[in-house]
């Protein structure tokens, strides 16, 4: 696209910029090897990055609009690659049970957990679901999140699964962030069903409607003891692939069922959770192009172990870090806190975590024009009240975002 000089914007006075230029999937060592630019600028036109540079070379764009970012740290917009964004109701009633030692899967077995949210979501109108999810997206934006993967899975019937995905579509149209819809009808066996086989057959019919309405890019399944077995996951995801969907899997969260290996075998775009995967399966994942999406807020909130992030990276895997926002196991939109836990509790470096919420998260979400700031990529970036990357992790629990830009437009300004 040809753009006249006066249609360009130059963002200058950036003390430190991490463009994440280079590979669009960062595996192993590459996750930690970034090349930040000091005294940098970004030239934007038509919503895209046109040029990245340092010093005063930007001055040759004499007629462009000049915007000073006041010596800030600038990072690509954070991408939250695993959320259960759209649902009704809340589950604070489960918190004390959880603290008294009742297991997450036992709460589900007794008709609570996911099934409680299913009842609330079935009873909610489109407008109610929309308004609640919109509020969460606004919270995410304040934390610097410019793109969000959003799973269905609180309907478990035709009508409500479609309703959730239609909410995602409308939010995508109306809000500045980009949303990536994932169909997760295979999230739990709903009340009234005895046979998992019958239920998965129903979900295949729902999948046809999802395809017909172009309502999702990906299909996900909860592969877990007492939920769906490894065999069921392999078969269901294989079916989704044959229909043209990319696939994801909730794998080895509480029990090692082999979900990570299934992801590698199928060429899934991501395998998520992975708290209890066997070493052999982690190696299979590391050899594949499948992104390991790790969710430290869930481990923190459920008081479980953290996923073996260090091991995965040392084996050569591509890791992403996401919030897993949902009303049961991670009721928080704070991706920055997830990033901080990844450094403070999982042994990742700040550079690795930055790769994990930008390029690798973009890959896990199928967002080919996002995740890095290079010519041709979307001009989505976050301006932080920090002078260096370490500070973002050191000042944990504090939101350091000052401004958020999406497609070169400022969509948020706040005083941290």
Q: How far is the CB of 82 from Fe ion (least distance, A)?
A: 6
Per-residue b or e along 280-310, where b marks 16 or more CB atoms closer than 10 Å to that residue's CB:
ebbbbbbebebbbbbbbbbbbbbebebbbbe
Q: What is the CA radius of gyration of the chain?
A: 21
Residue closer to ligand NIG (CB basis): 252 or 351: 252
For residues 332 and 323, the answer to whether their CB atoms sit within 8 Å is yes
* Beta-carbon count within 10 A of 344 CB: 14
Which 208-267 residues touch ligand NIG, going by CB under 6 A?
A: 222, 250, 253
Is residue 113 involved in binding ligand NIG (CB under 6 A)? yes
* Residues of this chain, 299-328, that bind Fe ion according to CB under 5 A: 324
Supply the minimum distance, in Å, between the C-beta of residue 205 and Fe ion: 24
Q: How far is the CB of 350 from ligand NIG (least distance, A)?
A: 25
Which residue, 329 or 372, has its beta carbon nearer to ligand NIG?
329
Closest to ligand NIG by CB, 272 vs 380, is: 272
Instruction: Catalogue the long-range contacts made by 391-396 (C-beta closer than 8 Å, 24 or more residues apart).
Output: 391/73, 392/73, 392/336, 392/339, 392/340, 392/350, 393/339, 393/340, 393/343, 393/344, 393/350, 393/353, 396/337, 396/340, 396/344
Residues 320-359: x where in contact with ligand NIG by CB under 6 A, - otherwise, as a string? ----x-xxxx------------------------------
DSSP state string for 343-386: HHTT---HHHHHHHHTHHHHHHTT-TT-SS-STTSB--EEEES-
Closest residue to ligand NIG: CB criterion: 328
306 is a site residue for ligand NIG (CB under 6 A): no
Q: How far is the CB of 400 from Fe ion (least distance, A)?
A: 26
Q: Which does 253 bind (CB under 5 to 8 A by kind): ligand NIG, Fe ion, none?
A: ligand NIG
Single out the residue of 8, 40, 74, 117 in contact with ligand NIG (rule: CB under 6 A).
Answer: 117
Q: Contact between 380 and ligand NIG (CB under 6 A)?
A: no
The distance of closest approach from Cβ of residue 194 to Fe ion in the complex, given in angstroms and rounded to an integer, is 25
Residue nearest to Fe ion (CB): 324
* Closest C-alpha among 380, 322, 268, 291 to residue 23: 291
Run of H or E including 305: none
Binding site for ligand NIG (CB under 6 A): 84, 113-114, 117, 222, 250, 253, 298, 324, 326-329
């Amino acid at each position: 696209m040809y753009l006249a000089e006066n249609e360009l914007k130059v963002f200058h006075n950036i003390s430190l910029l991490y463009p994440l230029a280079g590979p669009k999937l960062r595996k192993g060592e590459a996750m930690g090897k970034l090349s930040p630019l000091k005294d940098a600028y970004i030239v934007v036109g038509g919503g895209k990055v046109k040029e990245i540079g340092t010093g005063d070379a930007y001055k040759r764009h004499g007629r462009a609009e000049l915007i000073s970012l006041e010596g800030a740290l600038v990072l690509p917009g954070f991408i939250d690659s695993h959320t259960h964004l759209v649902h009704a109701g809340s589950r604070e009633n489960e918190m004390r049970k959880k603290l008294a030692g009742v297991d997450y899967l036992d709460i589900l077995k007794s008709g609570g957990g996911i099934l409680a949210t299913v009842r609330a979501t079935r009873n909610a109108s489109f407008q109610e679901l929309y308004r609640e999810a919109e509020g969460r997206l606004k919270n995410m934006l304040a934390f610097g999140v410019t793109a969000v993967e959003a799973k269905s899975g609180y309907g478990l019937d035709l009508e409500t699964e479609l309703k959730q995905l239609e909410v995602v579509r409308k939010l995508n149209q109306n809000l500045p962030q980009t949303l990536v819809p994932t169909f997760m009808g295979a999230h739990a066996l709903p009340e009234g069903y005895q046979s998992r086989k019958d239920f998965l057959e129903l979900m295949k019919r729902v999948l046809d409607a999802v395809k017909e309405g172009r309502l999702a890019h990906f299909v996900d399944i909860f592969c877990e003891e007492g939920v769906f077995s490894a065999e069921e996951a392999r078969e269901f995801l294989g079916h989704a692939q044959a229909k043209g969907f990319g696939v994801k899997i909730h794998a080895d969260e509480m029990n090692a069922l082999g979900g990570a290996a299934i992801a590698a075998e199928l060429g899934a775009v991501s395998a998520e959770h992975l708290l209890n995967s066997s070493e052999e399966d982690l190696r299979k994942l590391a050899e594949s192009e499948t992104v390991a999406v790790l969710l430290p807020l869930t481990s923190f909130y459920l008081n479980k172990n953290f996923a073996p992030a260090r091991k995965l990276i040392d084996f050569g895997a591509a890791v992403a870090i996401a919030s897993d926002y949902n009303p049961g196991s991670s009721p928080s939109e704070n991706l920055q806190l997830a990033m901080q836990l990844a450094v403070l509790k999982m042994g990742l470096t700040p550079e690795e975590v930055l790769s994990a919420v930008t390029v690798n998260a973009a890959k896990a979400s199928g967002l080919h024009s996002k995740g890095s700031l290079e010519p041709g990529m979307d001009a989505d970036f976050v301006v932080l009240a920090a002078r260096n990357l370490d500070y973002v992790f050191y000042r944990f629990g504090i939101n350091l975002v000052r401004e958020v830009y999406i497609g070169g437009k400022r969509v948020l300004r706040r005083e941290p």
